[in-house]
Amino acid sequence: MRDLVFALLFLVALGATLALPDRRAPVDDPSAEALAFARLVREAESQPLAPEERARDLATLRALGPAGLARFLAQAVPAEAAEPARRVALECLAESAGAREVALLLALAEPEAAPPSAALRAAFRATLAATLARDARAFRELVPAWRRARPALQSELLEAVAASGDPAGLELLAWIASFEGDEHDRAVADACERIAPAAPTHEQREQLETLCALLDSPDTVCVQTVSVALARARVENALPAWIELLTAESRGTRLRARQSLEELSGLELGADPSRWRNWYEAESVWLETRGPAVLAQLVSDDVTQVLTALREVATRRLQRDELALWVTPLLEHRAPAVRRAAIVVLERLGSPEALPALAAALADEEASVARAAWTALRALTGKELPLDEELWRMELGAG
């Protein structure tokens, strides 16, 4: 009897247990972000979404924020992932990626099994270009990215830099010119022509000087293209190379070398390299031997000596940015005649270094000095603004 009672109690307990609801959590319940990403990938493969559904899925993913989205995509797109998932991931990042995500963009664009297709390369280029436009710090990540990138993506890196129009890309171009072979010469020259500024900073000038190495390239298109950029940026380190290029086999190279020499010097000495060599040597000798004495005259208390020195400086055509820095302090000289003469010399030197000081001279108490500064500013910038110091300061600051 006792055994029967125990058996009945066991059956009752078992029935009660089976009647309880199942409290176990569902297994592998996908998140909204995972579902949205999966739908976008299926669309990329062959299943189109309605425009509003597509926009909603992209918004769901982008709502994670730049860091959260990057973490999600790094997990959602493993090394063996196919291209559709990679293209979708790059599209998702196009509106949020910054400097920290440049390495992820590169990883997404490089499938493990095969080279990236044209579509994937285009997606990478577009997303990188958007990233560079949004976050200037991303330019500092380009050299490491270049060093890791496969050849198929290196051209896309260069194209994104060129499309940016931003001189910050010169860092990458200088690195390539210094450490890579000549197979990239033409692409580097093209990017340089598109981003080299007319008034480079000291750092940008050093980077452009590194690119003078491209003037020795066997690619004549490269030589001519980079010459345009270096002349516009007034890179005087290119002068000896241009003089030698006046005897190049390529007629186009000879012509571009002559145009660059004339543009940078403001002189027209023809196509004879000996005339340009003589000029360059004479300018270099003057700077080394006569320059210090003239600089001393410029700071003299004798107005006559100062004016004499200014007339001598006005004839020089080498290191004009440095000479402009010699002359600029004279815009605050006590004598109006010296201030006017200094402005004329700065206009002849043509250095952008003088523009801020010339704008300040628009407020000179002597009307003739202010008008001379106004004339010089219009000649140097090509801009037509009224004689108003604040307007010019704003314009130059914006430029």
What span, in angstroms and rounded, lies between the C-alpha atoms of 239 and 260? Answer: 8
**Which pLDDT value is given to residue 8?**
39
pTM (2 d.p.): 0.81
The pLDDT tens digits of the residues spanning 261-309 come to 999 998 899 999 999 999 999 999 999 999 999 999 999 999 999 999 9
Length of the chain: 399
Q: What is the DSSP string of 152-183?
A: HHHHHHHHHHHHHT-GGGHHHHHHHHHHS-GG
What span, in angstroms and rounded, lies between the C-alpha atoms of 250 and 202? Answer: 33
Cα separations in angstroms, 217 against 170, 179, 184, 189, 323: 18, 14, 10, 10, 32
Question: Which among 329, 323, 337 is positioned nearest to 358, based on CA atoms?
Answer: 329
pLDDT at 130 over 60: yes
Q: Cβ of 81: how many Cβ atoms within 10 Å?
A: 16
Q: Which residue has the tokens 């140097």?
A: 380
**Which pLDDT value is given to residue 201?**
86
Domain boundaries, the chain: 32-164, 166-271, 290-398
What span, in angstroms and rounded, lies between the C-alpha atoms of 314 and 346? Answer: 8
- Mean of the pLDDT values across residues 18-42? 67
The pLDDT tens digits of the residues spanning 163-213 come to 999 999 999 999 999 999 889 999 999 999 999 998 888 899 999 999 999
Using only C-alpha atoms, the chain has a radius of gyration, in whole angstroms, of 33
Is 97 exposed, middle or buried (CB count within 10 Å of its CB: 0-12, 13-18, 19+)?
buried
Q: What percent of the chain has pLDDT over 90?
A: 75
| pLDDT grade for 113, boundaries at 50, 70 and 90 | confident
DSSP percent split of the chain into helix, strand, coil, nearest 5: 75, 0, 25
**Which pLDDT value is given to residue 26?**
39
What span, in angstroms and rounded, lies between the C-alpha atoms of 376 and 339? Answer: 13
The pLDDT tens digits of the residues spanning 47-96 come to 888 999 999 999 999 999 989 999 999 999 998 899 999 999 999 999 99
Averaged confidence pLDDT in the chain: 89
Question: Which among 204, 139, 205, 213 is positioned nearest to 180, based on CA atoms?
Answer: 213
The CATH class of the 290-398 domain is mainly alpha
**Which pLDDT value is given to residue 396?**
86
Same fold, 166-271 and 290-398: yes
Would you identify the CATH topology of the domain 166-271?
Answer: Leucine-rich Repeat Variant (1.25.10)
| Residue 94 per-residue DSSP state | T
Question: Which among 171, 205, 209, 206 is positioned nearest to 191, based on CA atoms?
Answer: 171
Q: Which residues contact 301 (CB under 8 A, 6 or more apart)?
A: none
pLDDT at 140 over 90: yes
pLDDT at 398 over 70: no
